[in-house]
Structure 1
Amino acid sequence: MNEDREFDDEAMPAADINMTPLIDVMLVLLVIFMVTLPVLHQSAKLALPRANSQREDVAAPHVDIVVDAQGRMSWNAQPVQDSGLSARLAAAARLSPQPEIRLSADRATPYGRIAKLLSAASAAGLARVGFVTEPDAPRRAE
């Protein structure tokens, strides 16, 4: 009878689950989530401008600043140096209502030059800056 008992123990199926493949799959999923999660949450808060199709009020006060390809600036068609720019921006910021800065820059103007101008306008307290562009030429139907 003792021999029958040993035979019965061997014939019974094992009730244990092999956990190794399950753990491997879970670790792979964990690594995938750890890699993709930071990518999904990268964002920057932007205050994007709104475009409308209404005509601009021509009588609104504005200042035209033109920057050419060499980085030379003019304030309402009068040449201005970097040293006098901050004083003019501060004077414009004190006006009521504040004028809009209309910035026209050549395509070849270095970006650093425009960034310094925008930074100076922001530091002076001017919040309304517009970029003047030329419309694209109409394309011919081919």
Structure 2
Amino acid sequence: MAMSTGGSSGGPMSEINVTPLVDVMLVLLIIFMITAPLASHRIDVKLPTANPKATDDKHIEPMDLAVTPDGAMYLDDREVDENQLKAALAVAASKSPQPELQIRADKTTEYRVVKKILSDAKGQGMVHVGFITTGKE
């Protein structure tokens, strides 16, 4: 609160010092004048267009890989070992369009087994990998 320096009253002043308020408002005005043109700058990006007819003509069956708790793997209901799985993944990765590898792992299967399958799939060039789950039990 400002106090009067002179005069006979000696009480508080009822006037507000607006100089700091004007200083702050001028600084904000300058900041907004500088940043406003920068906010309106646009960059044109040409996005690719999807071709839905290309995917509708040919339906690709996904590869179904079931993993049991003991680590046994069944690719499309046939039991496979690690080398057979890698060979099948390499063949599938070379196809165009590439089929999706859908993994159904038992919930008690150790994570390291699923991690090994994922790293093998990535190493063979598979890019479409998904997990199949069931609803609430």
TM-score, normalization: structure 2? 0.56
- The offset of 1:84, in angstroms, is 1.2
Q: Secondary structure at the match of 1:107?
A: coil
Unaligned ranges ≥5, structure 2: 1-55
How far apart are the structure 2 equivalents of 1:83 and 1:96? 23
Post-superposition Cα deviations, 1:37-80, rounded to whole Å, max 9, x if no partner, equal: xxxxxxxxxxxxxxxxxxxx9x4331000000110001100000
Q: Equivalent residues in 2 for 1:89-128 (5 A)?
A: 89-128=89-128
Q: Secondary structure at the match of 2:65?
A: strand
How far apart are the structure 1 equivalents of 2:69 and 2:86? 21
CA RMSD, Structure 1 to Structure 2 (Å): 1.4
Post-superposition Cα deviations, 1:69-100, rounded to whole Å, max 9, x if no partner, equal: 11000110000011211111100101111000
Structure 1 match to 2:70: 70
How far apart are the structure 2 equivalents of 1:136 and 1:104? 16
Q: Secondary structure at the match of 1:109?
A: coil
Structure 2 match to 1:80: 80
Structure 1 runs of 4+ with >4 Å offset: none
Structure 1 match to 2:133: 133
- The offset of 1:129, in angstroms, is 0.6
How far apart are the structure 1 equivalents of 2:127 and 2:114? 15
- Between the two proteins, the alignment pairs up a number of residues equal to 80
Q: Is the 8 A contact 1:103 1:129 kept in 2?
A: yes
Q: Secondary structure at the match of 1:102?
A: strand
What is the identity, as a one-letter code, of the residue corresponding to 2:118? L
Structure 2 match to 1:18: none
- The offset of 1:122, in angstroms, is 0.4
